[in-house]
Amino acid sequence: MEILALSDIQERWKYTKAGIHKLAKREDFPKPIAKVCRGRIKIFLKEDIENYENGKDWLFDEEQKRRRQLLFLKLSSE
């Protein structure tokens, strides 16, 4: 069993902490299997994170991420 903390996911996806916290609020984001340090550090199964990544190429590609962000900004301003 391999586990990841949010900092590991941040490095894996090249995301900011704020960006990952925003994604973690979504219903489809994997739930942590544990919380340590009085709940400040969330631990995830690597397998759950890998399953979440399927079909989400924008997690790894800066250009796709930027285009996705621009699309959401456009849709939210209409």
- How confident is the model over 29-38, as pLDDT tens digits? 999 999 999 9
How many whole angstroms separate alpha carbon 65 and alpha carbon 56? 10
Average pLDDT over residues 34-52: 95
Bridging pattern class, strands 34-36 and 41-45: antiparallel
Please name each of the domains of the chain with its CATH number: 3-77 (1.10.1660)
Q: Check if the beta carbon of residue 36 is closer than 8 Å to that of residue 29.
A: no
pTM of the complete model: 0.82
Residue the block writes with tokens 């991420």: 65
Predicted pLDDT at 75? 78
Q: What tokens were used for 46? A: 């690597």
